[in-house]
Amino acid sequence: MKPLLITSGTVVSAAGRGLAETADALRARRSGLAPCDFAGIAVGFAGVVRGVQAHRIGGSDPRFDCRNNRLADMALTTDGFDEAVAQARAFYGPERIAVVLGTSTSGILSAEDAYARADPATGALPPSFDQARTHDLFSLPRFVAARLALDGPLLSVSNACASSSRAFVDARHWLETGLCDAVVVGGADSLCRMTLRGFDSLGLVAPDRARPCDAGRRGISVGEGAGFMLLEREGARPGARTMARWLGYGVSSDGHHMSTPDPEARGAIRAMLEALRHAGLDPSEIDYVNLHGTGTIANDAMEDLAVHAVFGDAVPCASTKGWTGHTLGASGIVEALFSVLMMRDGFLAGCLGVEIVDPMFRSHVLTGNRAATPRAIMSNAFGFGGTNCSLVFGAA
- Residue 22: DSSP 8-state: H
Phi-psi region of 351 (alpha: psi -120 to 50; beta: other; left: phi over 0): beta
As a whole number of angstroms, the distance between CA 239 and CA 288 comes to 30
- Rounded Cα distance, 270 and 390, in Å: 9
Q: What does the alpha-carbon distance between residue 309 and residue 304 come to, in Å, rounded to a whole number?
A: 8
SS3 47: strand
Q: Which of 36, 66, 161, 317 is catalytic?
A: 161
Catalytic residue, from 135, 278, 292, 364: name it: 292
Nearest to 335 by CA among 102, 5, 44, 37: 102
Catalytic annotation present for 292: yes
Distance CA 171, CA 179 (A): 10
Beta-sheet pairing, 16-17 with 316-319: unpaired
Determine whether 127 is exposed, middle or buried from the number of CB atoms within 10 Å of its CB (0-12, 13-18, 19+): exposed
Distance, C-alpha 269 to centroid of its chain: 20
Given the residues 326, 351, 364, 389, select the one marked as catalytic: 326
> Quick count: other Cβ atoms within 10 Å of Cβ 41?
16
326 is an active site residue: yes
Q: Active site includes 278?
A: no
d(CA 247, CA 277): 10
Q: How far is CA 260 from the centre of its chain?
A: 20
Cα 51 to Cα 58, 185, 188, 270, distances in angstroms: 15, 23, 15, 40
Catalytic annotation, residues? 161, 292, 326
